[in-house]
Amino acid sequence: MLRPYRLERELDRAVTQWLDWLPRWDPSTARRRLSPCVACPSWAIDLAFEEVPHGALHALTTSLDAVVTEHVRRSVALQPFLSDEAVDGLREQLRREASAWVGRQHAQIARALDAFVEPKVQHMAALLLADLGG
């Protein structure tokens, strides 16, 4: 098992990069997905971010998934005889740690969402309503 501080450092980097990017998030450039996202719904529930627009959240969950996957990969490289069940258990455990870690940044993330995402969502909603109105 890798030392947890490494996981936390990488999660910290992922969240920091996402927070740096968040002001540039633009809802009008969101591409319509042909199939539902497999990553976001479960992360959204774990992180209590069900209300966050998918495009904004997706950038975070893909980074978190990448951190978890990389740690699983490194653990398997160090312990090549792990069973599939052990690898699944490791992935689940790391994912729970990642959720808990991000959960501790929840207030800071919520402030960033309020500052950078919410006004754009409101603006889009206002434009839609204006369109409907005439």
Residues at the contact surface with Zn ion, assessed by CB under 5 A: 37, 39-40, 58
* Burial class (CB within 10 angstroms; exposed 0-12, middle 13-18, buried 19+) of 43: buried
Question: Measured from the CB of residue 62, what is the shortest distance to Zn ion in angstroms?
Answer: 7
Q: How far is CA 73 from CA 32, 40, 95, 100, in A?
A: 31, 21, 14, 21
How far is 129 from 26, CA to CA, in rounded Å?
Answer: 19
How far is 43 from 54, CA to CA, in rounded Å?
Answer: 11
Question: Measured from the CB of residue 126, what is the shortest distance to Zn ion in angstroms?
Answer: 25
| Structural contact between residues 44 and 57, judged by C-beta atoms closer than 8 angstroms | yes
Closer CB to Zn ion, 19 or 76, in the complex: 19
Question: Measured from the CB of residue 14, what is the shortest distance to Zn ion in angstroms?
Answer: 15
Question: Measured from the CB of residue 42, what is the shortest distance to Zn ion in angstroms?
Answer: 10
Closer CB to Zn ion, 40 or 72, in the complex: 40
Closer CB to Zn ion, 11 or 40, in the complex: 40
Closer CB to Zn ion, 49 or 90, in the complex: 49
